[in-house]
Structure 1
Amino acid sequence: MQISLNQNKNLKLFKLISDVAEKNNQTVYIVGGYVRDLLMKRQMPTDIDFVTESSGIDLAKKIAVEINPKLKVSVFKTYGTAMFKHNGLDLEFVGARKESYSEDSRKPAVETGTLEDDQKRRDFTINAMAISLNKENFGELIDPFRGQEDLQNKILRTPLEPLQTYSDDPLRMMRAVRFASTLNFKIEENSLQAIRQEAERIRIVSMERIMVEFNKIMLSEKPSIGLKLLEETGLLQYILPELIALKGIEEIEGQTHKDNFYHTLEVVDNISKNTENLWLRWSALLHDIGKAPTKKFVEGTGWTFHGHEFLGSKMAKTLFQRLKLPLGNDLKYVQKMVKLSSRPIALVTDDASDSALRRLLFDAGDDLEDLFTLCKADITTKNAKKQERFTKNFEYVAQKIKEVEEKDHIRNFQPPISGEEIMEMFNLQPGREIGILKEKVKEAILEGDIANDKIEARNFVITEAEKLGLKSNSLIIFKK
């Protein structure tokens, strides 16, 4: 089959690569995801892979010189690959190769091969197609494993026997689930069975590589497709057993609780309709993570999960450490979202105090809107009337918080009196008294005892300092 590249925005580049390859008696083909996405008419990726049945490193260097002699080429001799950037594209060149694997590693032993050998080693038929850039058949699609047919049928199938494919490189199991989730494809049954059989081999893959694929699943349009597949194939128990622990429904004295695993998947799907923020989606994934260890049946009350948000927030750090996820602000954000995830709903009642609203404003800060997005996503009831009532409740709380914010300016507030000012007022050196007084000012403002105002804060500090036995340098009571 012939693929027309005449309208392709990279045609000029492809022609140049073709010319350089011919001058050097080398073959050259576009392979991998670029071919797949071109046939699917998807947005084209910015990385393009090329295979030659000779030295990929030599070809890359010669093409780079032709484009711009100053272009920097990165060379990876072990794998016979070289790459460089050009016009916003990442171009990678590799010599066609055969691969063989040992049982305890996903790093292959490599030897020179043909284009056919190279296509055989690819993960899925939809990624095993090539487009020739050679003069005699420029634009010809080379598809030995019926990848185009699988594209049309939305099937993920391995070029070779699936057990061998996944055993050789277990990361391919994660890639299968990722493609199923991002492309909404079905994993072919033999392939699915092979993943179930080989799931334990995911242990030999670094957690960093696993998380690259996992996060792509999390960023897909409907993450539950991938998350369900991870659970069904047994992969999830080696990645996030804490999620598996949420699965199932128990019944005591005729009382049951919902299946918190499938509820979590619904929440993740709900939130994904409203945000592409990866860490907000992670917050949805972990928002009930503390329910398994806090679950308790109380006679006369039923099932309780007291403190699950607080425990879940602490568990998030352990999870992030184990999963090699960022431990800085991204972790703090997820911990905050999990910890506060039930707070807004507790403020729905008419008698919710301004103090409680101020505290939520203070604790959530700039992330308040994200918190409300999470809380709304947590509404998974199928009862239309209940759903409407819950949504109105959140709108009610949002309005109350807006009114308090306009009045008190609490969000992200810094106490209106600084530690330096307190030290000057009482001729103090840095010490515990400064921290005590600053904390008292913050609490007084949040409780509504004083306004978020400098003069009121200074007068309040003088009064509280006297209780600590401190004397002000001035007897002046500050007035507005």
Structure 2
Amino acid sequence: MMKINQNALKIMDILESGGYEAFAVGGCVHDLILGKFPKDWDITTNALPEQMLALFEDYHTIPTGLKHGTITVVLDYEPFELTTYRVDGVYSDNRRPDTIAYTSSLTEDLARRDFTMNAIAYNPKTGIIDPFQGQEAIRLKEIKTVGKPEERFKEDALRMLRCIRFACQLDGTIDALTYDSLYRNRRLIQLISIERIREEINKILLSGCPDRGIKLLYDTGLLQYILPEVCSLADFDQHNPHHHKDVLNHTLIVLNAVPDNLPLRWAALLHDIGKPKAFTLGEDNIGHFYEHHKGGADMAREILLRLKFDHDTVRKVGILVYHHMFKYDTLRDASIKKFINRVGVENLNDLFELQIADIKGSKPPHDFSQIKHLRKEVDRILNEKQPLSMKDLRVNGDDLVAIGFEPGKRLGDTLRCLMEEVLRTPEVNDKETLLSMAKRLVKTSDKN
């Protein structure tokens, strides 16, 4: 017997005590079969919505989707979705059925689901109900639609991305007929909201094999409608002795080599997005990509804004893409401090991870010495708590006003000059010393 959530069991018991059937269904059963404990629980029943509401009138219920037969019951602050057995009508918007009809048949309800591995029901008393061989699909790690893939994808085109996402999360294969249908129906993805697409791409990127997910999206033609800029990296010969792969295959290696951190995975995917536009071929037939990091950062921000990402993610990915080429082994402390300020302390570790992955995607041998040296120096400066920015200065605008400065450009320029000096020589970051320096700067400026 599979271990089931006690509150889910309680809900099934209440439904059964009212004379109805009740089964855990979908992803939660899939997880149970794999020996995982599900995060979310969906329960299907032959009780109608009004009958469910009556049974759970003493509990916190939410009419989540009554017109589709769904309510949510909250037990111990945990939500459980309960849905009446149903068959779906036409999906004219390729997302939700225009009409539904309730049915008394569990098998008919399971037949409307997306993939065979999600069309399994379970009740501790009845056991597993698996009319579409979903357990076999789980054993084989095969992603296969329930019924004809054309029908399933036309009902909800997002299922095409879910198909690829499951293949990545489970390290599985896609059934041949299902795969062929992905290509034939690829254009339908244009009918899906960008927010829903974004969330599926995020899950693919956070999977155990994000490189495979992007490759599947490219091979099936779906990527062209989501990230056409990434498609332009394919077969782009870099004509460079340091690179033995085209830009897309290099990118996929980098993507797989960074930790499963969402902004970092996006930065890895987009770090060389500016290369095709920046490409020049020298007289020696060597390819160059001067300042591709700058154009790439702009493109990365535009792409993420198009996908309606939050401001913080857009900013962070832009910073990582912009600075991914920065690696020097002979820098003065002042330059390293400016680098820390530009990147942000909170982004440094992700940037170093991206730089290391970038080298791993290049032609061997791999030399990480510059990055290691820079990382060591950054750590030293941070551990010594050396002053890095204006907020670390021992004087501020009010202090300068107190010794006779007028608010305005001269005051701001003076503070910046003091900051430059402190970056070079941290020992001068003393209030009296800085005020004396400010007075001398003014006298020098007046003479000039």
CA distance in 2 between partners of 1:121 and 1:20 (Å): 26
Amino acid at match of 2:32: L
The corresponding residue for 2:118 is 127
1:96 pairs with one of 57, 75, 85? 85
SS in structure 2 at match of 1:393: helix
Which amino acid counterpart does residue 108 of structure 2 have in structure 1?
A: D
Give the conservation status (yes or no) of the 8 Å contact 1:28–1:50.
yes
Residue 291 (structure 2) aligns with: 307
> Please, which of 71, 74, 79 is the counterpart of residue 85 of structure 1?
74
Matches within 5 A, 1:44-443: 44-56=37-49, 58-59=51-52, 62-63=55-56, 65=57, 69=58, 71-87=60-76, 89-109=78-98, 110-113=100-103, 114-132=105-123, 138-250=125-237, 258-272=245-259, 276-300=260-284, 302-327=286-311, 329-344=312-327, 347-348=328-329, 351-366=330-345, 367-380=347-360, 386-387=365-366, 390-405=367-382, 409-411=386-388, 414-416=391-393, 417-429=395-407, 431-443=408-420
Indicate the SS of the match to 1:82.
strand
Structure 1 residues 155 and 462, CA gap change in structure 2 (3 angstroms) = same
Equivalent residues of 1:73, 1:84 under 8 A apart? yes
In 2 relative to 1, CA 70–163 (structure 1 residues): closer, same or farther, beyond 3 Å?
closer
228 and 299 in structure 1: CA distance in 2 versus 1, 3 angstrom threshold = same
Distance in 1 between residues matched to 2:274 and 2:296, nearest whole Å: 4
| Runs of 5+ consecutive residues of structure 1 not aligned to the other structure | 471-480
Aligned to 1:475: none
Secondary structure of 1:334's counterpart equals helix
TM-score by length of 2: 0.90
CA drift of 1:102 comes to 4.2
Helix, strand or coil at the partner of 2:43: strand
Q: Percent identity?
A: 29
Question: Which residue matches 2:5?
Answer: 10
Give the drift of 1:450: 7.8
C-alpha spacing 1:457/1:60, structure 2 compared with 1 (3 Å): farther
1:433-476 Cα distance to aligned partner (Å, 9 max, x none)? 33322233333334559844444432332233335549xxxxxx
TM-score normalised to the size of structure 1?
0.85
Q: Which amino acid in structure 2 is aligned with residue 340 of structure 1?
A: H
Deviation string 1:417-436 (CA, Å, 9 cap, x unpaired) is 2122222222524x333332
Q: CA separation in 1, counterparts of 2:252 and 2:240?
A: 28
Q: Note if contact 1:255-1:302 (Cα within 8 Å) is conserved in structure 2.
A: no
CA contact (8 A) 1:57 1:80 kept: no
Deviation string 1:385-421 (CA, Å, 9 cap, x unpaired) is: x22xx22332222223344555671445625121222
Moved more, 433-442 or 399-408: 399-408
- Secondary structure of 1:214's counterpart equals helix
Deviation at 1:335, TM superposition (A): 1.4
- Asked whether the 8 Å contact 1:57–1:81 carries over to 2, the reply is no
Classify 1:35/1:444 alpha carbon distance in 2 versus 1 (closer, same or farther; 3 Å).
same
2:15 to 16, 21, 30: 21
Describe the shift of the 1:313–1:459 C-alpha distance in structure 2 as closer, same or farther (beyond 3 A): farther
- Give the secondary-structure state (helix, strand or coil) at the position aligned to 1:261: helix
Number of aligned positions between the proteins: 443
Contact preservation (8 Å) 2:59, 2:73:
no
Whether the aligned pair in 2 keeps the contact of 1:247 and 1:260 (CA below 8 Å) is yes
CA contact (8 A) 1:365 1:412 kept: no
**Cα gap change, 1:234/1:78 in structure 2, threshold over 3 Å: closer, same or farther?**
same
- In structure 2, the CA distance between the partners of 1:53 and 1:199, relative to structure 1 (3 Å rule), is same
Structure 2: gaps of 5 or more residues: none
- CA shift at 1:231, angstroms? 0.9
Structure 1 pair 159–450 and aligned structure 2 pair: CA distance change class (3 A): same
Q: Which amino acid aligns with 2:442?
A: A
The whole-number CA distance in structure 2 between the counterparts of 1:57 and 1:469 is: 84
Contact persistence 1:102–1:168 (CA under 8 A): yes
Three-state SS of the structure 2 residue aligned to 1:108 is coil
SS, match of residue 195 in structure 2: helix
Deviation at 1:130, TM superposition (A): 0.7
The two structures, once aligned, show a CA RMSD in angstroms of 2.7
Q: For the Cα contact (< 8 Å) 2:389–2:419, is it kept in 1?
A: no
